[in-house]
């Protein structure tokens, strides 16, 4: 629970007499006032530990400073105020039914104090990126920028795609060197080198940090030095319009080191599945599934099963020993269980499917060359470090499915086969026919995969076999030579996100290569022979990159593809029906359909010295069924760097920012929406997300803070209950 602030802040909060209002069960209502009068667009936060897990409700005040906290369980609440330009108030202790409450707040006279509650991306925007003229880099003996860095845009993309891949940059834990203050360093550069090498993720962080060249550490050291000297960002706008109708509900779950990558509440294809039911998250670090009951406000951990095979044992991918101790946990190996779940999805039977490690890293013989597997004839997988599983809440049992291909994200298609498609972080897309698996229990018979072979010779079929060497494959942007007699394929590591288009039941993927591509794989009626891939790169027009960094991907019910450009901070739509060319020799550069793309720049601050927004979007989702109440086919990007979800109205180009003001550090990787009762208006609908950072100790509250499940609702007006 939030602790009272220091006395020197000169804060005072009081429940002062106000005009009598009728008391309502489960509701606290009142007004927020400062010496300047009513405070509009500030957050009123109620939290309690009377429930089995810590519970929080957050609303926004209207033009007259009024607020209504609805649907509160019977408990004692600490109620307080946070708002841009204000100092956090001390708490008042209230129970549901309280009305006519006046919460008194004070202006933050110190701009630095006021800035402490700004979203992380406002602070991250102060990072000074090398100018356009510095690229391409000339190496350690030149300008200090790696020669592999070809442009400023690529530099920005790397800072987001890799540095923000696991956690939020710009929060207090990262913009300052406070957590290293007990160590002695000759310079801030040395401190940053230590920081990026420490702890369980240190070796990975250090490897990526080195890819910038030595100027990378100089840039981050300069950033934190300027902040330490008092540089602050401009103030964000307060919530306005529809943003004042947002209601946020939170439940703590997991422990202080839980790495809860993603959550799920329902079947994406039918949002009334599991209506009012238990919600789930996958704890990648602890190899477990978390189950939350939002009625009893209790949660439990379910350890995910793996196969017991001493000849090919499943072991954790996380370091158990690391060269530089964490300043938070020392040499303690936080994550030890092997299952490594990444992404969950509900099916129509109420089961939770996941990408998890089932076995060790050795491929079974039926996945390797020499087997009679027809998919191996077209493409022989090299590795599979994560496979597939499901948990059945009805029986509390796990089903485990070995896959030849590696798995990352997953998504169900439509149709009686209930095909479950997987992104693989490689040049293939795989699937499991879950209906066939349920019928036979045969994991070999139930799965298939196709390499992402582009039909650039236009003969309507793919080349067999397609077993390219490890490393970059043919890509004209990488200097390859085009052989018109052969089909071509993009570089490994291509498909990250995955979605099945509801308009035609064809799978799409998103690729992380710079500036980024999306992939369409039609498996046809006899895969792998009939598999055909189309690839569309983010447009480069007259040599100018329009956007970069696709990661997430989704589709609306009209068949339009949406992808969040994590690097350039856009939501981008792609309408294939506008393309004049789909395949053949003209498609070799992947730049053959710029007319299909529309880019929408997300709101927020711009990175210093650039025209690129500072926010990072880990993923995106389309609200096809109006689960939020803003209409159907509404795309939403995770504001993973801005404590928010960002909702776009494609018709008007307007955005709604659903900010989570407390605790600071809301870093969401994914989201979904569920309809519990379509007849109860806003109360029966919600969008759900979770705090998905690798490091909970970066969240406001520091070490000991846990992850949270977050429910977003939009009322018809600010005072509805």
- Per-residue pLDDT tens digits for 604-644: 999 999 999 999 999 999 999 999 999 999 999 999 999 99
What pLDDT does residue 63 have? 97
Does some domain include residue 46? yes
Q: Are residues 111 and 251 in the same domain?
A: no
What b/e sequence results for 665-702 when a residue is b if at least 16 CB atoms lie within 10 Å of its CB, and e otherwise? Answer: bbbbbbbbbbbbeeeeebbbbbbbbbbbbbbbbbbbbe
Q: In what order do the strands lie in the sheet with 488-489?
A: 488-489, 453-454, 532-537, 517-522, 506-511, 495-501
| Nearest one of 290, 293, 396, 271 to 346, comparing CA atoms | 271
Q: What is the pLDDT of residue 42?
A: 98
405 domain-assigned = yes
Same domain for 667 and 528: yes
Residue 492's domain comprises 241-714
Answer whether residue 72 is part of any domain.
Answer: yes
Domain final position from 115, 138, 156: 115
Mean pLDDT across 376-396: 94
What is the band of 490 on the pLDDT scale with cuts at 50, 70, 90? Answer: low
Length of the chain: 721
Domain end (from 80, 115, 150): 115
**Does 104 share its domain with 251?**
no
In-domain check, residue 178: no
- Sorting pLDDT into bands at 50, 70 and 90, what band is 12? very low
- Asked whether residue 258 is assigned to any structural domain, the reply reads yes
Asked if residue 83 is part of any domain, the answer here is yes
CB under 8 A, 24+ apart: contacts of 577-584: 579/536, 582/534, 583/454, 583/455, 583/456, 583/458, 583/532, 583/534, 584/455, 584/456, 584/457, 584/458
Q: At 53, which CATH number?
A: 2.60.40.1120
The structural domain count of the chain equals 2
pLDDT of residue 468: 53
pLDDT tens-place string over residues 188-208: 999 999 999 999 999 889 998
Choose one of 115, 131, 156: the last residue of a domain: 115
Tell me, yes or no, whether 555 and 420 share the same domain. yes
Contact 497, 551 (CB under 8 A): yes
Which positions ≥6 away from 324 have C-beta within 8 Å? 194, 197, 198, 199, 202
- Are residue 535 and residue 670 in the same domain, yes or no? yes
Helix boundaries (H) for 23-168: 111-115, 120-124, 152-161
Query: Domain holding 496: CATH number?
Result: 2.130.10.10
Q: For residue 578, is pLDDT > 90?
A: yes
Q: How far apart are CA 404 and CA 367, in angstroms?
A: 5
pLDDT digits (tens, 9 = 90+) for 114-170: 999 999 999 999 999 999 999 999 999 999 999 999 999 999 999 998 889 899 999
Q: Is residue 446 part of a domain?
A: yes
Please compute the mean of the pLDDT values over residues 461-479 and round it to a whole number.
50
With respect to residue 142, please indicate whether it lies within any of the assigned structural domains: no
High-pLDDT (> 90) share of the chain, %: 84
Q: What is the pTM of this model?
A: 0.94
């Amino acid at each position: 629970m939030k602790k009272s602030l220091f006395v020197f802040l000169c804060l005072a909060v009081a429940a002062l007499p106000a005009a009598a209002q009728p008391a309502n069960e489960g509701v606290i209502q009142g007004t927020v006032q400062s010496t300047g009068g009513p405070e509009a667009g500030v957050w009123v936060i109620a939290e309690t530990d009377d429930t089995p897990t810590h519970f929080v409700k957050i609303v926004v005040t209207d033009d007259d400073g009024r607020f209504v906290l609805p649907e509160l369980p019977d408990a004692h609440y600490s109620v307080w105020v946070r708002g841009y330009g204000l100092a956090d108030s001390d708490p008042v202790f209230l129970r549901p039914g309280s009305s006519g409450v006046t919460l008194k707040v004070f202006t933050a006279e110190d701009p630095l104090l006021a800035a402490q509650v700004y979203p992380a991306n406002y602070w991250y925007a102060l990072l000074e990126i090398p100018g356009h003229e510095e690229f391409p880099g000339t190496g350690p003996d030149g300008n200090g920028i790696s020669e592999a860095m070809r442009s400023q845009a690529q530099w920005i993309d790397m800072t987001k795609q890799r540095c923000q891949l696991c956690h939020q940059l710009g929060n207090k834990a990262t913009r300052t060197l406070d957590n290293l203050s007990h160590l002695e360093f000759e310079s801030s550069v040395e401190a940053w080198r230590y920081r990026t090498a420490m702890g369980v993720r240190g070796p990975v962080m250090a490897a990526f940090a080195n890819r910038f060249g030595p100027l990378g550490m100089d840039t981050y050291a300069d950033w934190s030095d300027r902040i330490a000297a008092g540089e602050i960002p401009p103030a964000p706008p307060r919530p306005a319009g529809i943003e004042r109708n947002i209601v946020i509900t939170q439940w703590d779950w997991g422990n202080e080191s839980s790495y809860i990558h993603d959550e799920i509440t329902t079947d994406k294809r039918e949002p009334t599945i599991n209506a009012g039911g238990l919600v789930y998250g996958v704890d990648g670090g602890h190899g477990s599934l978390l189950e939350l009951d939002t009625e009893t406000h209790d949660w439990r951990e379910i350890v995910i099963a793996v196969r017991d095979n001493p000849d090919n044992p499943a072991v954790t991918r996380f370091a158990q020993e690391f060269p530089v101790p964490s300043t938070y946990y020392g040499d303690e190996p936080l994550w030890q269980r092997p299952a490594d779940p990444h992404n969950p999805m509900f099916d129509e039977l109420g089961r939770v499917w996941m990408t998890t490690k089932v076995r060790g890293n050795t491929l079974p013989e039926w996945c390797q060359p020499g087997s009679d597997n027809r998919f191996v004839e077209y493409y022989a997988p090299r590795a599979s470090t994560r496979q597939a599983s499901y948990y059945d809440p009805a029986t509390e049992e796990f089903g485990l499915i070995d896959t030849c291909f590696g798995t990352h994200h997953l998504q169900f298609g439509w149709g009686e086969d209930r095909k479950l498609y997987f992104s693989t972080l490689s040049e293939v897309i795989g699937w499991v026919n879950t209906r066939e698996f349920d019928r036979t229990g045969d994991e070999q018979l139930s799965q298939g995969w196709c390499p992402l072979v582009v039909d650039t010779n236009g003969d309507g079929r793919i080349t067999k076999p397609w077993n390219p060497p490890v490393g970059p494959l043919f890509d004209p942007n990488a200097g390859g030579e085009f052989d018109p007699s052969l089909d071509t394929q993009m570089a490994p590591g291509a498909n990250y996100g995955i979605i099945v288009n509801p308009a035609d039941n064809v799978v799409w993927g998103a690729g992380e290569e710079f500036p980024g591509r999306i992939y369409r794989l039609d498996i046809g009626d006899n895969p792998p022979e009939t598999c055909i891939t189309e690839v569309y790169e983010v447009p480069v027009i007259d040599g100018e990159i329009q956007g970069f960094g696709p990661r997430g991907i989704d589709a609306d019910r009209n068949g339009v593809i949406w992808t969040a450009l994590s690097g350039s901070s856009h939501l981008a739509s792609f309408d294939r029906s506008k393309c004049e060319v789909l395949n053949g020799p003209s498609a070799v550069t992947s730049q053959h359909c710029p007319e299909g793309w529309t880019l929408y720049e997300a709101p927020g601050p711009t990175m210093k010295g650039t025209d690129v927004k500072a926010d990072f979007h880990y993923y995106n989702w389309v609200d096809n069924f109006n689960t939020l109440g803003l209409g159907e086919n509404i795309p939403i990007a995770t504001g993973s760097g801005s404590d928010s979800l960002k909702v776009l109205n494609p018709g008007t180009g307007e955005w709604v920012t659903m900010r989570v003001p407390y605790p600071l550090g809301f870093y969401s990787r994914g989201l979904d929406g569920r309809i519990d009762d379509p007849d109860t208006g806003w109360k029966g609908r919600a969008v759900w997300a979770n705090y998905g950072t690798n490091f909970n100790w970066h969240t406001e509250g520091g070490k000991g803070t846990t992850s949270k499940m977050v429910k977003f609702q939009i009322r018809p007006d600010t005072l509805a209950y």
